[in-house]
Amino acid sequence: MFHSISKRLIEYRDGKFKKCLAGYKINSSKCQIDKLHSEVVAAAKRFESQGQDDLANELFFISFFVKGQKEPDEASYNLWVNNFSKLIFNAAKRYSIPIPYWKNKVPKIAFVGLGDDPSAYEHIYFICKHLNEGENYQPHLFLFSPNDNLNSVKARFNEIGTPVIIVNFNESAIPRSCTQMRDALHKEQIDIAVWVHLPSLMFFLFGMKIAATQVFISQYLHPDIAKFKIDGLITYGTIAEKSSIFLQDRWRVIPSAIKIIPGNNPEINIKRKRYADDNTIILATFGRIEKIRQETFLKCVAKILQQSKNTVYLYTGYEDDIKIANFFQRKGLLNRVKFVGWVDIDVFAQMIDIVLDSFPLATGLTAIKASFYGKPILSMGNNYSYMGRDIKPILEKSGFSGFAQAESVYNKIREAAFELPFTPYAQNNSDYILKAEKLVQCEKSKIQLASFQALCLEHLYFNTSLMSEVFIEQIKDIRKTII
C-alpha cells in the first residue's frame, strides 16, 4: 500500500538531480529521509527477488515509499507508476524547448537507451538492418553511457550502416545528461525517438520533448503512461492482432524475433552422464533463480518428479536459494534435484530432455535456445510465456486481424497446431503436471511438441524480416495519428 505524499520536490542544484521527499507520514508520525530510503530499498529488493524487475528498478531509481512486507496489488502499483511518471514528467518541463519539425526526405529514427545492456538491442539490431536495406527510414542508435567503452556495439551497428552516438551519463546529474541527449538528437535532426529500456529516464526525456514523434517499445506493459507525451506504445506479442488495450492505453504489437548462432560441444554425452544415466529423463529450467523459486511452480515440479520416478531435475541461477533445497528436502526429492549454476545454454540445452518453463514468470531467450536444439518446452499458457503470449491467441482467435505481412505465418502455425493431439501449452497447474508426465512417458509426444515449436522458431521467432516490417507499419500508423 502506498502512503499519501504531502510534499514532493525535485530540485536541480549544482549539477545534481536531488530527489527530495518530505512530509511523509508513517503511522501518524514523521519519518526521516534516510529511514524512508532504507524502507524503499528493502521493498525494491523484495520485488526483485520475486522477479518483478520493472517495479524494483523504478523503486531503486526514486525514493518512493512502500509500506510493509506485503506486495502491493495491481491498483496500488498502477497508482504508484502514475505518481512516479507525473513527478518525473513535470520535473522535465523546465528543460523543454520548442522542437523543430525537420524536413528530412527520408525520416530519421533514433533508438535511444542505456548502453550497459547490449542484449537489449538484439531486436533493434535486426530492425536497423532491415531499415538500412530499404528506403523508409534512416536508423540511428543513441546510447547513454558513463564512458565511451562501447566499441563492440559501435562496430556491430556501424557494420550495417547505423551510426552510434554515445552521450555521457552521470547519475548525479541526470537533467544535464538528458539535455545533452536531447541536444545530440536535435543535432542529427531526428524525427522519431524510440526509447528501448525501462521507462524511468524516458519520462524525463519525453517530458522535455526530444523529437517530434516519441515512441516507447517495451517487452512489458506499463500502466497508464501514454499521456506523458508518448505518441505510441509498442510491445512484443502475437501476430494475431495489431494492438491490445492495457488499462487506458493502446499498445501496438510486433512479433519478437532474433537469430541464434549454434554452439558446438563434442563432449555433450560425457557431461550428461554427470547428472543421469541413459535410462533417466533430465528435466531442466534455465532462468533466474527468482523465477524458479515460485512456490506454485516448485509444487508442480515436485509432483512431476513424484509421478515419474525415472526423472531428475536441474535448475540454474547466479546463486542458489536455500529455500529451494529445503522445499525438495521436505518432499524427499533432494537427491533427484541439482542446482547447476549459471550455465552455457548452448551446452546444457543439448544434454537435457525436457524444459520445464517456470511460471507465473516464464523464462525468455533460454527457452528459445533450448527449442532451437530440438528440446520440447512445457510452458504455462499465460501472458508471460512465449507460448501463452504469442501462440495461444493465434489458436484461440476466430479470425486474423493482424498485418498482412503476418497472415501466412499465422495460418502455418494454426495448421500445425491443429495436428497436435494436445495444446502446445498448459492451461493450469493440473494440466502442466499431466502434460509433463505425457512428455516423459511418450517419446512421440516429445517429438510432436518439439517439431511444432521448431516450426514456430522458423516462421516466427527467427523471422526478423517480419518483425521489422510490422514495426515499420506500426511507426507509419503512429505518425499518421499525430501529423
C-alpha cell recorded at residue 397: 482467435
Does residue 423 sit in the same domain as residue 280? yes
Task: Using pLDDT thresholds of 50, 70 and 90, give the confidence band for residue 270.
Answer: confident
User: How many domains is the chain partitioned into structurally?
Assistant: 3
Does residue 300 sit in the same domain as residue 201? no
Residue 373 belongs to domain with CATH number? 3.40.50.2000
Q: Is residue 281 part of a domain?
A: yes
Residue 122 belongs to domain with CATH number? 3.40.50.11380
Q: Is residue 81 part of a domain?
A: no
C-alpha cell recorded at residue 106: 527520408
CA pair distance 425, 209, nearest whole angstrom: 43
Does residue 404 sit in the same domain as residue 311? yes
> Do residues 153 and 176 touch, judged by C-beta distance below 8 A?
no
Q: Is residue 87 part of a domain?
A: no
Write down the residue that cell numbers 526526405 correspond to: 105
pLDDT of residue 79: 67
Does residue 161 sit in the same domain as residue 244? yes
Does residue 313 sit in the same domain as residue 432? yes
Average pLDDT taken over every residue of the chain: 80
Does residue 282 sit in the same domain as residue 252? no
CA pair distance 473, 483, nearest whole angstrom: 15
Classified as helix, coil or strand, 271 is: helix
The model carries a pTM of 0.79
Domain range spanning residue 19?
Answer: 7-72
Does residue 470 sit in the same domain as residue 456? no
Sign of CA dihedral 187, 192, 196, 198: positive
pLDDT of residue 81: 66
> Do residues 218 and 102 touch, judged by C-beta distance below 8 A?
no
Does residue 456 sit in the same domain as residue 470? no
CA pair distance 173, 251, nearest whole angstrom: 32
Q: What is the mean pLDDT of residues 29-54?
A: 53
* Beta sheet of 164-168, edge-to-edge order: 164-168, 138-145, 108-114, 192-195, 213-218, 232-236, 249-254, 243-246
247-266 confidence digits (pLDDT tens)? 788 899 999 998 887 776 66
pLDDT of residue 50: 59
Q: Is residue 102 part of a domain?
A: no
Given a cut of 70, whether residue 68 has pLDDT beyond it is no
Q: Is residue 97 part of a domain?
A: no
Given a cut of 50, whether residue 306 has pLDDT beyond it is yes
168-225 confidence digits (pLDDT tens)? 888 767 788 888 999 999 999 999 999 998 787 888 888 888 999 999 998 877 767 7
Given a cut of 50, whether residue 98 has pLDDT beyond it is yes
112-167 confidence digits (pLDDT tens)? 998 877 777 888 999 999 999 887 899 999 999 887 678 888 899 999 999 999 99
pLDDT of residue 8: 29
Ranges of beta strands (E only) in 3-91 are: 7-13, 16-22, 25-26, 29-30
Higher confidence at residue 345 or residue 482? 345
